[in-house]
Every structure is written in structure tokens, then in C-alpha cells.
Amino acid sequence: MGADLRRLDAARAFFHEPDPARLHVRPRAHTLGAVADHRRERFQKALWRARALIGAGAGDFQKRLSALLGGRTAPPYPERFVIKALGRVFFLRAEEVDWVEAAANYVRLHAGREAHLLRETMNTMATRLDPAKFLRIRRSAIVNIERIKELQPWFRGEYVVVLRDGTHLTSSRGYRDPLERLLK
């Protein structure tokens, strides 16, 4: 039996067949890197082609869209918000909103003594509101400029914003510039 094993080993060595029990497959780093580089190059080429196609047809697309709409354009900022609460659906005009407060993935619209939740993020709400009428004073608060009664200087460039209904909100330094533009 020992001689048979030696002959088998000699045959494997002659034909260069590795022993399956000892076979370890290790990908070579340079091979994997080359594959990744190739994929990255193909992706970048496809991305450039897509950007070129979009850029080339953008003007034509705008013309066709304008022709389709017949010169009609939607108002850039909503005039009212649809509030769904307690099985009811009602409307809140944007000009009735005193201030907006962040509440996780919702925003709380304060209008008079009422507050309404709307499923929208603060960043989305900031882009939807008219910047001529609303001002973001901190990450979690946007105020209606018409509802601001006074600005009281606070520490380190912050302000206390007092609204007409008596609500006190503190601004943050990151949003100081828009508030100071109001003072000019």
C-alpha cells in the first residue's frame, strides 16, 4: 500500500496536479485590483456619456416642456398646506403660519394657538417656503418674517426672536447672517 501511495504522489508531481486536500484558492491582490480598476473605468465612461447626453438635450427638453405647458407655470411656493389629522383633511394657508418647528421626520406648523404636524423634513420645508416671507433662524426653526415683533441680542452673535404672539425663539450663530440682513 505504501508503494501505491508513492506512485500516486509521483504521478501528481509529474502531471503537476495539486492535491485537492492541500489546495488553497487565494485571489491575487493585483488581479482583484485590476478588475476593480476596469469596472471603475467602465462606470466613469458610462457616467460621462450619460452626462453628455443629458446636457446636450437639456435645452430642447425645456423648449418642449414649455410648449406642452402652453406657457403656464406652477407657483414656485405653495399658497397652502394640506393637513391630515384625526380623520380630517383641512387646509392651512402659508401666510397663516407663524413659525415652523422640527419634530423628527415631521414639521410642526404653528398658526395662532394651534399646531399641526406635517410629514416633511425641515430641509424640505425650508426649500418649499418663500424666502421673502420666511426665515430660518436655526436648524429646528423657521419663522414668518411678518410675525417677528423684535430681535433681542443674545450671547455670541445669537438673538432671541420675539414673535407677536409672545413666543420666544433663540436663533443660532449659523443662521445669524439672514437675521442681520433684516436689521439693515
Q: What is the pLDDT of residues 28-54, one digit of tens each?
A: 555 556 667 778 888 888 877 777 766
- Per-residue pLDDT at 77: 86
pLDDT, mean over the chain: 80
Q: How confident is the model at residue 116 (pLDDT cuts 50, 70, 90)?
A: very high
Q: Is 19 left (phi over 0), alpha (psi -120 to 50) or beta?
A: beta
- Per-residue pLDDT at 183: 78
- Per-residue pLDDT at 11: 57
- Per-residue pLDDT at 51: 73
**Quick one: which of 167, 129, 117, 124 has its CA closest to 147?**
167
φ, ψ for residue 148, nearest 5 deg: -75, 125
Q: How confident is the model at residue 181 (pLDDT cuts 50, 70, 90)?
A: confident
Q: Out of 11-25, 37-51, 142-156, give the one with best mean pLDDT.
A: 142-156
Alpha-carbon distance of 165 to 99, in angstroms, equals: 11
- Per-residue pLDDT at 184: 77
User: Whole-prediction pTM value?
Assistant: 0.59
- Percent of the chain past pLDDT 90, that is, above it, reads 39
- Per-residue pLDDT at 6: 61
Go through the domains of the chain in sequence order and give each one's CATH number.
80-183 (2.40.50.1020)
